[in-house]
């Protein structure tokens, strides 16, 4: 039976960062990843990502239970099934969130995760094209760049947002996380910079981690209340691997709680119902599930957009442009500009993310997304602090069964009202000069929908998950019955076991969550190293 210093389960955004930092510190690290390598042209070239999203070879394609708040619709949530996880197939918008979000984590019991405490890790993880200052960093593993798919209509949208009363932020990842600015992207010279690329493929240091691909964890091995290794399946063979210091779970907000429960850590009654011996009764495992929710305003315009660049000779030119200069439509992220705003003056932080893209999609006859054939733009109105808390649970004790995901995207009427307020803000921007002169029509919701109740009905019908699931192994105080890990990310009640991924977030940060997940892996490595050092000191 083989042995390593420490095992990291899941090579996604946080797991790659955790693995890279632990190896950099000199530990023998074995990373097991259920998926494939991310060294794939459709992951590396930004605009080709749509070919691997909802492709079961690269995406877990989790089926969610019917959502009564969306008329019983049962969505499919993507999750990266390859090294880099979500960072290898997401929309590449790099945003950290608001200071208030992290201070709220600390208020909820995540001591040492307030904004001032996480800021040094955001700075050390990034290589920011805008340079370094008190808030931003350079020289780190994750390249953060300006978008290279630039259209004049994006500049006009930013100017119109200012005309509508939204202040210009010089850097939404910097001193002021409110206002309007261009989107920064997780790219290096026009190619995706996933966490796997930054922390593993282009890593520094002499100690190289062992990476086991297409290796499915079956359960964590726990002896006398301590995690000592794992049982996994690779190439159709069950294998064991022991770890001198323990195991870090970084399988993501949907898979980490499932694997904890399969290992006997979770709500005792639920485990017993599936015939699983209870190792540690933690009711919070799988609970506290949160996701951002939003809907689109779509307009037809008379100005060039990515839609027009995807057609005919213009499309061929974009391929050549990418090959020669790594610029143009093939570098596009899912958004080009964004604003963080408060729709109500008494809120402590922005409650809405208004994201603008110089392109828009339609649905084909089979319900699949396809680029519109005429010049169009889309504005996503995203609710940053939805009210509902869902749950991940087991379907069975079979370790190969996917999790059961029960969640309501729209938790209450106030969630709906806030999104309606956001639609009003989006429309106000689009009516302002200079972008307003280019608007030909509103395709969705449609100019005829003006009354509040009409817009509420549209929100109920057209809202979508933003695929930012978090919270299912919540970080908090040891006396919090809903907490799963403490402020060092150590599982409460089990020695030698940590969780480092989006599942530990007590609440959603504002904006896309990938940068925060990577930060958790990067910062979490220091917490793991400190715990290992403390244990070694006690043994001397």
Q: Considering only CA atoms, give the Rg of the chain.
A: 23
To which H or E segment does residue 91 belong?
none
Options 292, 438, 468, 527, the catalytic residue: 468
Inter-CA distances, 158 with 169, 174, 380, Å: 10, 18, 14
CA distance 95 to 49: 19
Please indicate whether residue 245 is annotated as part of the active site.
no
Inter-CA distances, 159 with 76, 154, 353, Å: 36, 9, 17
Nearest CA-CA partner of 161 in 358, 338, 416? 338
Tokens coding 451: 């009354």
Cα dihedral sign, 219-222-223-224: negative
SS (H, E, C) 291-333: CCEEEEEEEEECCCCHHHHCCHHHHHHHHHHHHHHCCCHHHCC
CA distance 112 to 115: 9
By CB atoms closer than 10 A (0-12, 13-18, 19+), residue 485 is buried
Nearest CA-CA partner of 198 in 20, 29, 333, 46? 20
Non-local CB neighbours of 381 within 8 Å, separated by 6+ positions: 294, 295, 296, 297, 352, 353, 354, 419, 422, 423, 425, 426
Non-local CB neighbours of 427 within 8 Å, separated by 6+ positions: 297, 442
Catalytic residue IDs:
468
């Amino acid at each position: 039976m083989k042995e390593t210093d420490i095992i990291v389960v899941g090579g996604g955004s946080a797991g790659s960062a955790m693995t890279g930092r632990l190896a950099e510190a000199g530990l023998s690290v074995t990373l097991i990843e259920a998926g494939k390598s991310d060294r794939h042209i459709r992951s590396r070239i930004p605009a080709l990502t749509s070919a691997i999203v909802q492709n079961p070879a690269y995406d877990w394609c989790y089926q969610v239970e019917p959502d009564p708040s969306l008329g019983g619709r049962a969505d499919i949530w993507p999750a990266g099934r390859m090294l880099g996880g979500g960072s290898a197939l997401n929309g590449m918008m790099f945003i950290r969130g608001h200071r208030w979000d992290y201070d709220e984590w600390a208020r909820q019991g995540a001591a040492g995760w307030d904004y001032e405490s996480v800021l040094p890790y955001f700075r050390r993880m990034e290589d920011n094209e805008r340079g370094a200052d008190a808030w931003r960093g350079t020289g780190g593993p994750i390249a953060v760049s300006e978008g290279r798919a630039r259209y004049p209509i994006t500049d006009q949208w930013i100017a119109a947002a200012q005309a509508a009363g939204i202040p210009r932020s010089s850097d939404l990842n910097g001193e002021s996380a409110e206002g309007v600015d261009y989107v920064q992207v997780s790219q290096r010279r026009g190619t995706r910079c996933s966490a796997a690329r930054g922390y593993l493929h282009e890593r520094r240091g002499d100690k190289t981690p062992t990476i086991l691909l297409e290796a499915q964890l079956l359960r964590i091995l726990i002896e006398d209340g301590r995690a000592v290794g794992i049982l996994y399946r690779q190439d159709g063979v069950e294998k064991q691997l022991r770890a001198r210091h323990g195991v870090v779970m970084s399988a993501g907000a949907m898979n980490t709680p499932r694997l904890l429960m399969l290992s006997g850590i979770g709500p005792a009654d639920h485990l017993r119902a599936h015939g699983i011996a209870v190792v540690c009764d933690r009711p919070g495992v799988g609970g506290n599930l949160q996701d951002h929710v939003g809907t689109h305003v779509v307009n037809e315009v008379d100005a060039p957009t990515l839609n027009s660049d995807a057609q005919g000779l213009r499309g061929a030119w974009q391929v050549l442009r990418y090959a020669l200069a790594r610029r143009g439509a093939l570098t596009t992220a899912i958004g080009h500009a964004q604003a963080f705003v408060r729709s109500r003056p008494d809120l402590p932080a922005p409650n809405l993310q208004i994201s603008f893209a110089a392109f828009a999609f339609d649905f084909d006859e089979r319900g699949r997304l396809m680029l519109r054939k005429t010049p169009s733009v889309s504005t996503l109105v995203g609710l940053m602090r939805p009210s509902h808390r869902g749950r991940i649970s087991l379907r069975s004790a079979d370790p190969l069964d996917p999790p059961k995901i029960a969640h309501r995207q729209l938790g209450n009427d106030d969630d709906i009202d806030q999104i309606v307020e956001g639609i009003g803000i989006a429309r106000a921007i689009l009516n302002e000069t200079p972008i307003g002169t280019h608007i030909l029509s509103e395709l969705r919701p449609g100019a005829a929908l003006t009354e509040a109740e009409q817009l509420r009905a549209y929100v109920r019908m057209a809202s979508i998950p933003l695929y930012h699931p978090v919270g299912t192994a919540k970080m908090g105080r040891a006396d919090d019955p809903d907490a799963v890990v403490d402020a060092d990310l150590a599982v409460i009640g089990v020695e030698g076991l940590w969780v480092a991924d989006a599942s530990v977030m007590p609440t959603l940060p504002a904006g896309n969550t990938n940068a925060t997940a990577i930060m958790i892996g990067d910062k979490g490595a220091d917490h793991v190293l400190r715990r290992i050092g403390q244990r070694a000191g006690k043994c001397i």
